[in-house]
Amino acid sequence: MLRVLGLLIFLYQFAISAADVSMEIVKNAGYKPSVAVVLSTDAANMQSKFAGEVHKLLEKDLEVSGHFNVKSVSAQHNFNSNINYYEFKKLNIDLVANITTEQSVFEGFILKLKLYDTNLNQLVLEKSFNSAKDDRYPFLAHRVAIEINNYVKAPSIDWMERFVIFARYTTPKESQIVIADYTLTFQKVVVQRGLNIFPKWADNVQENFYYTTYNFGVPTLMKVNIFTAQSQKIAQSDGMLVCSDVSNDGKKLLVTMAPNSQPDIYEYNTISKNFTKITDYSGIDVNGHYLEDERSIVFVSDRLGNPNIFTQKIGDRGASRLVYHGKNNNSANTFGNFVVYTSREGDNAFGKNNFNLYLVSTQSSFIKKLTTSGMNQFPKFSKDGESIVFIKTENERSYVGIIRLNHDKSFLFPLSKGSIQSIDW
């Protein structure tokens, strides 16, 4: 068991680090409207403790979208009065988002938006958003960004509303499962006490998730509902047991299991409760993800002496090598026929190395390097395939990174305490 745990840590531990995240990705051409976010001068808004944070988050959301030129302005306006269109036209600003916030005595939070189009000289959008808890304000800011994005008919940024879920090491042999918004501004611990790792969303609506715990003596796969906190044991196995992917209908899981100290990829049927072995190799096969309409899988294997990325049709025995470079390719994720994976680049296996992200297609020779330096791990595609979330560390501090594939942009959001072990989106 110690050997398997050591190999598991070897294949997964590099989930963190580094400095700049320069990109080599395809740029989208086209005009980007300029937008300014203005905080209203209303008394309620001026007294709101989160007003300034909402302002900064909304500006960041619009920047991350890649669809706007965000301009900071010092202008202030009462929410119930029209803006001075000429004032903003002089600054070459196309859209003005005037926002105001209110907090209730019952911990509720309200965010209101008035969007003005200076080219039309008119108010074009007015909406109000509310949450029962004021700590959920980041999601209201994300919702406003989505509405502004929809107004200009830009490609969807609905992924901004989704939870990220991650395991956070707090002390040795102690880790929590945390849900957060993509900027890590909102965070809520949903599992704590003991060693809890590798969370994976169980459904597209993000109501349930799987994770592995070592609190029952052997690796145990759990399922938890984030709204009711109801949890149930799914399976237990000696050696290791990790859910790495879930089918689109939620009825099948890809898990890495080592019942006889031999890690392989299995498919678990949530209806019949049966396991079907997919890979059968005397070394290490881990981290399976569905590919090509769930007819095949991508996984990490040491069949060549070092961790590398392979594909295999479900039901077949033969595996095919997918990646032909790098000394240690130890994590991967899929979207359609595309695979994003991590590759170690450096000569010293125990010294400081870069772990960079690459994007490849299983249908062609396409390959694209997405990062150029640092330690970048556990990439995950967004539901629309246009963004990638990943873990980066720098000076022993964890960051969540976002890559916008259709734009020459990437962003890092720091974790305030602890370190991230793994992440899902």
pLDDT in tens, the chain (425 residues): 434 444 444 444 333 322 222 222 223 346 899 999 998 887 566 667 788 899 999 999 999 999 999 999 887 778 888 899 999 999 999 999 999 998 877 778 999 999 999 999 999 999 999 999 989 999 999 999 999 999 999 999 999 999 999 999 999 889 999 999 999 999 999 999 999 999 999 999 999 999 999 999 999 999 999 999 999 999 999 889 999 999 999 999 999 999 888 899 999 999 999 999 999 999 999 999 999 889 999 999 999 889 999 999 999 988 999 998 887 999 999 999 999 999 988 755 555 668 999 999 998 888 999 998 888 999 999 999 999 999 998 878 899 999 999 897 899 999 998 999 999 99
pLDDT at 28: 39
**CA–CA distance, 282 with 279 (Å, rounded to integer):** 10
Q: What is the span of the domain harbouring residue 132? A: 34-151
Evaluate whether 251 touches 271 at the Cβ level (below 8 Å): yes
| DSSP conformation letters of 348-413 | -TTS--EEEEEEEESSSS-EEE---SSEEEEEEE-TTSSEEEEEEEETTEEEEEEEETTTTEEEEE
- Residue finishing a domain among 151, 171, 199: 151
Both 197 and 299 in a single domain?
yes
179: phi then psi, degrees, rounded to nearest 5: -105, 145
Both 13 and 77 in a single domain?
no
**CA–CA distance, 148 with 113 (Å, rounded to integer):** 10
Burial of 248 (0-12, 13-18, 19+ CB in 10 A): exposed
Both 44 and 184 in a single domain?
no
Both 133 and 262 in a single domain?
no
pLDDT at 29: 40
- Residue finishing a domain among 151, 181, 214: 151
* pTM score, whole prediction: 0.88
pLDDT at 214: 95
pLDDT at 408: 78
Both 122 and 164 in a single domain?
no
Both 349 and 311 in a single domain?
yes
Both 185 and 279 in a single domain?
yes
CATH number, domain at 123? Answer: 3.40.50.10070
Both 235 and 369 in a single domain?
yes
| DSSP conformation letters of 264-322 | EEEEEETTT--EEE----SS-EEEEEEETTTTEEEEEE-TTSS-EEEEEETT----EE-
Both 406 and 265 in a single domain?
yes
**CA–CA distance, 219 with 424 (Å, rounded to integer):** 20
Amino acid identity at 360: V
pLDDT at 377: 93
CATH number, domain at 205? Answer: 2.120.10.30
Both 195 and 120 in a single domain?
no
- Domains contained in the chain, number: 2
